[in-house]
Amino acid sequence: MQGWWRRDPFFVRYMVREATAVAVLVYAVVLTVGAVRLAQGEAAWNGWLAALRSPGSVLLHVVLLVAMVVHAKSWFEIMPKTMPMIVIGGRRLSATTITRSGWAAAVIASIALFAWAAWWRA
Amino acid sequence: MKRSNAPIFWLLFGAGGMLSALLGAMLVFITGIAVPLGWPLHGELMSYPRMLGFAQHWLGKGFVFVVIMLFAWHAAHRILCSLHDIGIHKGPAAKAACYGAAVVVTAVAGANLFRLGF
């Protein structure tokens, strides 16, 4: 049954979605290595920063970035199915509204984080 | 009846899924692309004294720890559930490997962040 998922584009999309979990794990490991290097002192930390600047690392993070966006997309798409039902004014909150609210929250949170990082340069 | 430990893993999975959906992409962009390239953020944003100060503040330390821990547990749980699809039985060995990886990541991150002091 190896490679069963290659038979149908629907299954391929499913497997790509599942693979984004690996990207989340890889990023957690990248940050953990950063924490270890920071605790080892300035020289170790600067070595880690230099590694982050290498083309291979930047490329890896571009892949991780795309995976994170796909991951967020699938998360907000399944949210209406996993959340308890919300009834407002006698009508069930639609799946589209829930998914769009999720996206809106993610955009606002991302802008806030970026704005904070830009402001923190002082 | 043996009490199920599933809700704990589900809670970590759900919290990690939400946090990574909200901030994952921007975090990757900042730490892996914008700062290393020095654009559009300043390249010195993650210099040693700044990051040391960030990680020594309880809020910064807590944020980094929560991000690492929840991302690791979310990924571990989801990878464990996907193993079945590539023909690996979700047995005790697979569980130990997935959740074990999350435990190791959490412990290493926690210990080193703690070691940085307050």
Residue A83 tokens, joined? 């959340």
**Cβ contact (<8 Å) for B48 and A46?**
yes
**Cβ contact (<8 Å) for B24 and A5?**
no
Q: Quick check: is B67 in a domain?
A: yes
**Cβ contact (<8 Å) for B75 and A21?**
yes
Q: Quick check: is B105 in a domain?
A: yes
* Residue A42: its H or E element: helix A42-53
Q: Quick check: is B78 in a domain?
A: yes
User: How many other CB atoms are there within 10 angstroms of residue A20's CB atom?
Assistant: 23
Residue B37: CATH number of its domain: 1.20.1300.10
pLDDT given for residue B46 in this prediction: 93
Q: Which domains does chain A possess?
A: 1-71 (1.20.1300.10), 83-122 (no CATH)
pLDDT given for residue A59 in this prediction: 97
The residues of chain A scoring below 70 in pLDDT are: 1-2, 121-122
Q: Quick check: is B1 in a domain?
A: no
| Structural domains of chain B, count | 1
Query: Tens digit of pLDDT per residue, chain B (118 long)?
Result: 567 777 888 889 999 999 999 999 999 999 999 999 998 888 889 999 999 999 999 999 999 999 999 999 999 999 998 888 787 888 888 889 999 999 999 999 999 999 988 8
The whole domain housing B17 covers 7-115
User: For A58, what's the count of Cα atoms within 13 Å in the CB-facing half-sphere?
Assistant: 11
Residue B89 tokens, joined? 């039985």
Nearest to A32 among B20, B36, B105 (CB): B105
pLDDT given for residue A87 in this prediction: 80
Integer angstrom CA distances of residue A23 from A2, A60, B75: 22, 10, 8
The string of DSSP codes covering B43-72 is GGGG-HHHHHHHHHSHHHHHHHHHHHHHHH
pTM: 0.91
Q: Quick check: is B2 in a domain?
A: no
pLDDT given for residue A88 in this prediction: 80
User: For B53, what's the count of Cα atoms within 13 Å in the CB-facing half-sphere?
Assistant: 7
Nearest to A61 among B33, B45, B113 (CB): B33
The complex's ipTM works out to: 0.92
Q: Is A74 left (phi over 0), alpha (psi -120 to 50) or beta?
A: alpha
In chain B, which residue's Cα lies nearest the Cα of A51? B36
**Cβ contact (<8 Å) for A110 and B35?**
no
Interface test with B, best of A22, A27, A30, A48 (most B CBs within 10 A): A27
